[in-house]
Amino acid sequence: MSTDNNWAIKLFNVSPLKQEKYKQLTNLLGDYSNKTCLDIGSDNGVISLLLRKNGGKWSSADLLPETVESIKSLVKEDVYQIDGLITPFGDKTFDSVAIVDFLEHIKTDKEFISEMARIIKREGELIVNVPNPKEGFIRKIRYMIGQTDEAHGHVRAGYNLRELKKLLSTNFEIKESQSYSRIFSILIDTFITGAIYFLKKGAKTKKGAIVTGKDIKSSGGGSAFKIYKILYPFINGFSKLDKLVPFLHGNMLIVRAVKK
pLDDT for position 217: 54
pLDDT band at 1 (very low <50, low <70, confident <90, very high): very low
Phi, psi (5° rounding) for residue 111? -65, -35
pLDDT at residue number 215: 52
Task: Please give the residue that has the higher pLDDT: either 80 or 235.
Answer: 80
Query: In this predicted structure, what is the pLDDT of residue 135?
Result: 79
The band of 11, judged by pLDDT with boundaries at 50, 70 and 90, is confident
Task: State the total domains in the chain.
Answer: 1
Residue 193 belongs to a domain with what CATH number? 3.40.50.150
Mean pLDDT of 134-147: 79
* CA–CA distance, 116 with 52 (Å, rounded to integer): 20
pTM assigned to the model: 0.86
How far are the Cα atoms of 34, 156, 180, 249 from residue 96, in angstroms, in the given order?
Answer: 11, 25, 22, 28
106-140 burial code (b ≥16 CB/10 A, e <16): beebeebbebbbebbeeebbbbbbbbbbeeeebbe
Q: How far does CA 89 lie from the centroid of its chain?
A: 21
Residue 141 and residue 195 in contact, taking contact as beta carbons nearer than 8 Å: no
Beta bridge partners of 253: 130, 179
Q: Which residue has the higher pLDDT, 221 or 104?
A: 104
Which of the pair, 189 or 63, is modelled with greater confidence?
A: 63
Cα–Cα distance, 142 to 185 (Å, whole number): 13
Please say if the pLDDT value at position 227 is more than 60.
yes
Which CA distances in Å does 89 have to 18, 136, 244?
28, 41, 43
Q: Is the confidence at residue 204, as pLDDT, over 80?
A: no
Range of the domain at 19: 3-259
How many Cα atoms are found within 13 Å in the side-chain-facing hemisphere of 15?
20
- Strand partners for 205: 208
Residue 251 has pLDDT above 50, yes or no: yes
